[in-house]
Structure 1
Amino acid sequence: MMPMLPSEHYFGKLELVFSFYGAMPTGVSVSESGRFFICFPRWGDDVTFTVAEIVGGKLKPYPNIETNAVNPWDVAMSFVSVQSVFADGRGTLWVLDTAAPNLTEPIKGGAKLVAVDLKTNTIRKVYTFTEDVVLPTTYLNDVRFDFRVGKAGFAYITDSSSKGPGAIIVLDLYNGNAFRRLNGAFSTSPDPYFLPKVEGKILMNRNKDGSTSPFRFACDGIATSPDGKTIFFCPLSSRQLYSISAESIRDRTIPDTALSDHVKYWGEKGASDGMMSDAQGNVYAGDYENNSVRKIFPNGRMETIAHDPRILWPDTFSIGPDRYLYFIVNQLHRQANYHYGIDLRQKPYSLLRLKIDELPAPMSG
């Protein structure tokens, strides 16, 4: 008889919040009143609505099914393919629409940031982008805010492009002016030496015809410090963590070529998709290579707070008013385009939570 051998130690008390048996989710956000919002980008699954709210244990199109139906005559007012949703703690759900189904070139005029009023469940404002901000290669990935600066606050959006330059897009919420920063910089670009390994195998694009190419995505995860003065970010194809002063990234008198001098390197945190910060200045990040969730303290110390075989690609993070860290697990690496056209994902996908006893970082004073 084979003796019981030592095995890997798993830890962290995970709780299942919701199971998804349909399309693959990427984003989650919990509002200040405890409402749950989910997004499903149109990557090939049967996506009947790209934004939903969990109501009574079921998914309900949000704000309605009409907004989730792509209107080719008015792409600015319909959700095309939403990658990220973010409740700001001030009564607004922000919807980041890539307008790039299947990670293709964004539909002209469709890439946008949409403010939805959570009291009336109606669209309050839509921010679209000029062609020098949203490029043909752009993939709008995630967004964070600071409402303490400017006349109406600023939004910071990552461009996780797989074919063009990565960047952080800075948006003035007062006048809608937006501009690219750290465009193609080393800190926003895929690490050229990064070789991702998930579930013991190298992750790369593996096409039906047998051809392969590296897994290369630019700036993805983003988080802000509680005072709004520091922006943390990371490329998806990298294990490194970076930050920059929000003041310098907004300051257009600093040329983009010189802005990299303002970037701070925090070290290797593991390869992460989404990130989130709490009110104490701790940053939470997934490690999709190691089925883990990391906590990065303000002094730079890092700690693994969950390590579990069920954490099959931790995607977006959100902190609820109940002091739980919520995150989507979606098996992104098992998609068909990484396995010669064979879809290896197993339903259900999951929304999990982990008690952290901290509130989310505030976006306003």
Structure 2
Amino acid sequence: MKPKLPSEQYFGNFELVYAFYGAMPTGVTVSEAGRIFICFPKWGDDVKFTVAEIVGDKLLPYPNLQTNFVNPENITMTFISVQSVVADGLGTLWVLDTGAPNFSVPIKGGAKLVAVDLKTNTIRRVYTFTEDVVLPTTYLNDVRFDYRVGNAGYAYITDSSSTGPGAIIVVDLENGTAFRRLNGAKSTSPDPYFIPKVEGQILMNRNKDGSTSPFRLASDSLAISHDGKILYFAPLTSRHLFSISTEALRDRTIPDMNLPYHVEYWGEKGASDGMITDAKGIVYAGDYENNSIRKIFPNGVMETISHDPRVLWPDTFSIGLDQYLYVIVNQLHRQPRFHYGKDLRQKPYSLLRMKIGEFPAATI
């Protein structure tokens, strides 16, 4: 009789919330009323609507189907390719539209931040960006909010460009003024020495013609502290975690060349896509190389709370008032672009959740 050999130990208690059999999702957010919203960027799948709400066992276009049809006559009021959705806990769903299907040059006026009123399910305000903020190489990735500063609060957005400078875009929500910070800084740039490995294989761009290139993506992961004073961020192709005071980001008297001196380094957290903060200031970060999710305490101590073979690329996180951590799992690394044009993804993609016993961080 052959002995049973030891094998890797898995842990963490996830439950399935929703299984996706259509396009690949990237973003999830849970409102204060428990409504769940999902987004589907246009990366090559058949995306019938780029923003949806899970209602019962169905995906319904949100706020309606018409808004999800690109209207060249009214590009700012229709969604093009949404990468991130964030409910602020105060009745607004924020929609971050890259305006860049398939990572193309953003359509003029198409890259935008949209506020949707969850009571009326209508667009309340749209923030567009000037050409010195959204560059031809820009890919708007994630966004966090703080209403405790300024007259209407501020938004912080990561530019996760694969060909140009990474950055954090700061938006004054009162007047829409936006500006780039840490543009091309080491902390917002891909780690040139990092070689991602997922499912035991090196992850790199592998094209249909047989050519290859390193996989490089700039600042992506984003979380804001429970008091709004610290912004945590990380490039997608890096294992390093950085932070900066939001006050320094907003202070335009600090030249961008001096701003890196205000950045703090937290060490290696693992290579993450999504991050989120709870009401106690604990940061939750994925580790896509190890099918894991990690907690990072305010004192820097890190703890792995889940290591699960089903967590095949933990993308976006959200924390609900039900004290669950929600996570989109989408097998991003199995896309055709990484495998000579062959799609290795296996449906369904999933929305999972695990009880963490903590509330989401407030925005006010």
Report the Cα distance in structure 2 between the residues aligned to 1:359 and 1:234, rounded to whole angstroms: 23
SS at match of 1:120: coil
SS at match of 1:155: strand
- After TM superposition, give the deviation of residue 75 of structure 1 in Å: 1.0
Report the Cα distance in structure 2 between the residues aligned to 1:25 and 1:6, rounded to whole angstroms: 35
Report the Cα distance in structure 2 between the residues aligned to 1:79 and 1:322, rounded to whole angstroms: 30
Structure 1 unaligned regions, length at least 5: none
User: What is residue 74 of structure 2 aligned with on the other side?
Assistant: 74
Report the Cα distance in structure 2 between the residues aligned to 1:56 and 1:210, rounded to whole angstroms: 44
Report the Cα distance in structure 2 between the residues aligned to 1:57 and 1:322, rounded to whole angstroms: 19
User: What is residue 241 of structure 1 aligned with on the other side?
Assistant: 241
User: What is residue 217 of structure 1 aligned with on the other side?
Assistant: 217
Report the Cα distance in structure 2 between the residues aligned to 1:2 and 1:34, rounded to whole angstroms: 50
User: What is residue 344 of structure 2 aligned with on the other side?
Assistant: 344
User: What is residue 266 of structure 2 aligned with on the other side?
Assistant: 266
Deviations, residues 277-331 of structure 1 (Å, cap 9, x unaligned): 0000000000000000000001000000000000000000000010000000000
- After TM superposition, give the deviation of residue 2 of structure 1 in Å: 2.9
User: What is residue 251 of structure 2 aligned with on the other side?
Assistant: 251
Report the Cα distance in structure 2 between the residues aligned to 1:223 and 1:2, rounded to whole angstroms: 49
User: What is residue 184 of structure 1 aligned with on the other side?
Assistant: 184
SS at match of 2:86: strand
Report the Cα distance in structure 2 between the residues aligned to 1:74 and 1:275, rounded to whole angstroms: 33
Where do residues 100-139 of structure 1 align in structure 2 (5 Å cutoff)? Answer: 100-139=100-139
Deviations, residues 52-103 of structure 1 (Å, cap 9, x unaligned): 0000110000000000001112111100000000000000000000010001
User: What is residue 42 of structure 1 aligned with on the other side?
Assistant: 42
Percent identity, please. Answer: 77
SS at match of 2:68: coil
SS at match of 1:344: coil
RMSD: 0.4
Runs of 4+ in 1 over 2 A off after TM superposition: none
Report the Cα distance in structure 2 between the residues aligned to 1:68 and 1:275, rounded to whole angstroms: 26
SS at match of 2:258: helix
Paired amino acid for 2:140: L
Report the Cα distance in structure 1 between the residues aligned to 2:246 and 2:108, rounded to whole angstroms: 29
Paired amino acid for 1:201: Q
Deviations, residues 1-34 of structure 1 (Å, cap 9, x unaligned): 4320000000000110000000000000000010
- So what's the TM-score if we normalise by structure 1? 0.99
Paired amino acid for 2:114: V
User: What is residue 99 of structure 2 aligned with on the other side?
Assistant: 99
Report the Cα distance in structure 1 between the residues aligned to 2:2 and 2:312, rounded to whole angstroms: 29
Paired amino acid for 1:222: L
Deviations, residues 227-275 of structure 1 (Å, cap 9, x unaligned): 1000000000000000000000000000000000000000000000010
Paired amino acid for 2:56: G
Report the Cα distance in structure 1 between the residues aligned to 2:126 and 2:221, rounded to whole angstroms: 23
Report the Cα distance in structure 1 between the residues aligned to 2:70 and 2:149, rounded to whole angstroms: 34
Q: How many residues align?
A: 364
Report the Cα distance in structure 2 between the residues aligned to 1:313 and 1:37, rounded to whole angstroms: 19
Report the Cα distance in structure 1 between the residues aligned to 2:234 and 2:57, rounded to whole angstroms: 33
State yes or no: 1:168 paired with 2:165: no
